[in-house]
Structure formats: structure tokens, C-alpha cells
Amino acid sequence: MTSQNETLFARAQLSTPGGVNSPVRAFRSVGGTPRFITRALGPHFWDADGKRYIDYIGSWGPAIVGHAHPQVIAAVQEAAARGLSFGAPTEAEIEMAEEICKLVPSIEQVRLVSSGTEAAMSALRLARGATGRDTIIKFEGCYHGHADSLLVKAGSGLLTFGNPTSGGVPEDFAKHTLVLNYNNPQQLEEVFKAKGEQIACVIVEPVAGNMNLLPATKEFLQTMRRLCSRHGALLIFDEVMCGFRVALGGAQALYGVKPDLTVLGKVIGGGLPVAAFGGRADVMKHLAPLGGVYQAGTLSGNPVAVAAGLSTLKLVQAPGFYEALGAQTAKLVKGLSAAAQAAGVAFCADSVGGMFGLYFAPQIPKTYAEMMTCDKAQFNAFFHAMLELGVYLAPSAFEAGFVSAQHDDSAIEETLAAARIAFKKV
């Protein structure tokens, strides 16, 4: 019998390139048919064939309090009943900005936008406008959304499909992007020594989640902080994935390193399209209508999306929230490693807060080059075995995984039982 997922995928490909609205969803690197999701609740979602999965992508991060949390749904319903979009300011937007400024150590002022891509693109423009410089530094394997200057040796879907620099990016744009090695402070020192006065900003995922999970070393982040301050460049932390994920104040709270600007998304929208960029007030004042750097959006600060985000931000401030999330994620990672060892598979796993990485390698990779040595074929076999057993992992060896506050002991136990079978098929 043909599955509904297959029927929907065949139909989708007629009207949409590759049948999906975001490339990694197409399952191309793991092979097989994408699952079309019909509903989700807590740690689970169900596909078009009615099959239930324990979900470890959580919409790639936002579903931190679990899917369809009653408080989030109620807030969204109340806001929707008052009107969907005004194109004029609301009090809820002030509340949201105040919450973000209160919770993220380096943010004095913040602007709301609708996607992580938009936030990173705007932060970059702001950094260039505020410094009057063009050159930016990014790191190989980091993904900061799909703005032109940032699609150079990038992670996520570009890495998944083995084409890290996108077509359609003019050489004239790409030449302003210097791509350096992640976790290599010496190289950063050398580049700043040679070109420090031309550099507008350094943008980094402090806990990278787009080349699998790869946390920065403290030395790497401290070095970029020192060099940016010395040379008048701005340091941008892209915390779209790790913000409100690895700790309440994001990676910057965890590492104790303060960027000049921060890019946020995912969790701050609670599943609806909210993202943000913010930071030092003296930098933010360069934005229109105060300054000459332009940025705007009809759906920026949308009242329904802000309601979802605000209620999620309230929920994650419950005492012990991050301790419990981190402990549950660590339990998962430890159990997976034990299951692999029992099956004799060269595998390890790591987590930071509610994010985790799975590596088919004898040791946890510390650099992009080491990450590339992970066994993709083994990952794909494991992915499909787990999927069959009702566990949905990211459909790519180069994406991080996400645990929610609703992944209780029984969800973790069920996952580990599946893994004990799946590792034997690798």
C-alpha cells in the first residue's frame, strides 16, 4: 500500500522545487521519503500515515517547552482573536524587548524581525554601517541564514548537500567575506594583524549547530572578543540556535563572553516567526529611524507571533528549567553512547543544555575538519533504523538535535530502546 507520505511527496514535487520549502526537509542526504506532519503534542509528532514519532528536532529548536504547550496555544488564540497584524506598534512588543534585554547579558536594545536570516542580515548591515567597513569574518561550517554575504562555506543544508557556497552569490559580495577555521584562535590573530583595520565584524555561532553540534572553545571566543575590541570591529554572536537553548542567557551567559551584537530566533518565537538582533545601545542607534542604516518589515513584531514568543520566554524562566532540560539531554546522550558501545559501533555524542550532537567517529570532533571525518553512511543507516522505530532525528549528519522539557524519562527510555536495536543495523 502506498503511504500517504509518499503520495504527498510526489504531489509536492509538482508544485514546489524538491517538494519542500526548506532543503534539509527533503531527506536528500539520508534518502527516502520525508514525513509530512499532521499534528504534534509534547515530545511527539504524527505523520500523514498516522505514525507517531519522538521528535528530536522540535522545529529545529523553537519547541523547547514541547509542542502545543497549553499556555502558548492560549496566548496565541487570545492574540489572534484581537487581530492578526496591524503594521503599527503594540505594547506586547515592548514587553518582548524588555524581556530580551533583561535576559541576554549584552543586549541593551533590540529590534524584532521575522526570521533568523533577516536578523543576521540586518546585524551585518548594522555592523558595516556603524563601523564604515566592508570586510566580515565568518567561520567555515557556521550557518547564519541565507543572506548573500553569509552563504560562503556555510553549514546546514549547504553542508548537507556538499555545496557549501551557494550559486547566485556575486563574487563582488563574497570577496568581502573572509572565511576562517572554527576553534582556531591563532589564525584569527594572524588575520587581524594583517587586516584588522578593514574588518567590520566577526560573526560566529558560539555553539555551532549547523555542522552538527560543535561548541566553541572559551579561548576561541575570548580571542575574538579581545581582537574585535582592539581593532574597532564588532563581535556578533549568532545565537539563533543556542540562544535560550544552552542556558537562559544563551551561550554568552554560559561562556561569560559579551558580544557587541546578538542575533536571536527560534525559541524567542515559540514556534511562530519571531527573530531579533540587538546589543550595545550606541551601535543600535545607527538603525533607522534614529540613524542611517535601514531595516524594516510589515510583519516585524507581529502580535500573534510575539504572543507565542512571550509566553515561551515566561515558561523557560521557571526555576530549574534549564537544569532539568540539560540533565534530560545528558541522559539521552549518555544512553546513546552506551548503546553504541554495546553494539561495537565507533560513536560518541555530546550535549550543551538542550542541544545535542551525534558523531559516528571514535572521538568528539573539535574542528570542522574533524567533523567531516564522521561516517555519513553509518549516520544514514542509524537515522533510518530510528525513524522506522518511531524516533525522528535531524535528517542530516550535519545538524544538531533538540530536546524539549516534555521529553520525560519514558520518552528517553523509548528512544534508547530503539537505539539499542538501531545501532545493530549500522
Instruction: Identify which of 414, 418, 399 has the alpha carbon closest to the alpha carbon of residue 61.
Output: 399
Q: How far is the CB of 5 from ligand HOZ (least distance, A)?
A: 16
Query: Of 20-28, 70-78, 273-281, 318-326, which segment contacts ligand HOZ by CB under 6 A?
Result: 20-28
Residue 350: active-site member = no
Is the CB of 62 or the CB of 326 nearer to ligand HOZ? Answer: 62
Residue type, 258: K
Q: Which of 56, 143, 359, 392 is catalytic?
A: 143
Q: Is 67 one of the binding residues for ligand HOZ (CB under 6 A)?
A: no
Query: Of 21-29, 34-42, 199-207, 211-219, which segment contacts ligand HOZ by CB under 6 A?
Result: 21-29
Residue 266: active-site member = yes
Instruction: Give the footprint of ligand HOZ on residues 349-378 (CB under 6 A).
Output: none
Instruction: List b or e across 38-57, with b for residues whose CB sees 16 or more CB atoms inside 10 angstroms.
Output: eebebbbbbbbbebebbbbb
Q: Is the dihedral of CA 62, 67, 68, 69 positive or negative?
A: negative
Is the CB of 18 or the CB of 297 nearer to ligand HOZ? Answer: 18
Query: Of 22-30, 270-278, 310-318, 352-360, which segment contacts ligand HOZ by CB under 6 A?
Result: 22-30
Query: Of 18-26, 161-169, 289-297, 311-319, which segment contacts ligand HOZ by CB under 6 A?
Result: 18-26
Q: Is 257 one of the binding residues for ligand HOZ (CB under 6 A)?
A: no
Q: How far is the CB of 226 from ligand HOZ (least distance, A)?
A: 29
Q: Which of 138, 266, 331, 350 is catalytic?
A: 266
Question: 180: helix, coil or strand?
Answer: strand
Q: Compute CA distances 409 → 329, 413, 416, whole Å.
A: 11, 6, 10
Q: How far is the CB of 61 from ligand HOZ (least distance, A)?
A: 8
Residue type, 82: R
Instruction: Give the footprint of ligand HOZ on residues 167-226 (CB under 6 A).
Output: 210
Q: Is 22 one of the binding residues for ligand HOZ (CB under 6 A)?
A: yes
Q: How far is the CB of 24 from ligand HOZ (least distance, A)?
A: 5
Instruction: Give the footprint of ligand HOZ on residues 24-53 (CB under 6 A).
Output: 24-25
Q: Is 156 one of the binding residues for ligand HOZ (CB under 6 A)?
A: yes
What is the distance between the alpha carbons of residues 356 and 43, in angstroms, rounded to a whole number?
16
| 253 membership: H or E segment, kind and range | helix 250-255
- Burial class of residue 15, CB neighbours in 10 A (0-12, 13-18, 19+): exposed
The residue of the chain with the least Cβ separation from ligand HOZ equals 22
Cis peptide upstream of residue 365 (ω within 30 degrees of 0):
no
Is the CB of 212 or the CB of 380 nearer to ligand HOZ? Answer: 212
Residue 392: active-site member = no
Name the CA dihedral angle for 126, 131, 135, 140, rounded to a multiple of 10 degrees: -60
Question: 333: helix, coil or strand?
Answer: helix
For residue 44, what are the contacts with CB-CB under 8 A and spacing of at least 6?
52, 53, 54, 55, 67, 411
Q: Which of 53, 153, 182, 238 is catalytic?
A: 238
Residue type, 301: G
Q: Is 399 one of the binding residues for ligand HOZ (CB under 6 A)?
A: yes
Q: How many residues bind ligand HOZ (CB under 6 A)?
A: 8
What is the distance between the alpha carbons of residues 98 and 108, in angstroms, rounded to a whole number?
9
Q: Is 69 one of the binding residues for ligand HOZ (CB under 6 A)?
A: no
Residue type, 144: H
Is the CB of 154 or the CB of 419 nearer to ligand HOZ? Answer: 154
Binding residues (CB under 6 A) for ligand HOZ: these are 22, 24-25, 60, 156-157, 210, 399
Residues designated as active site: 143, 238, 266
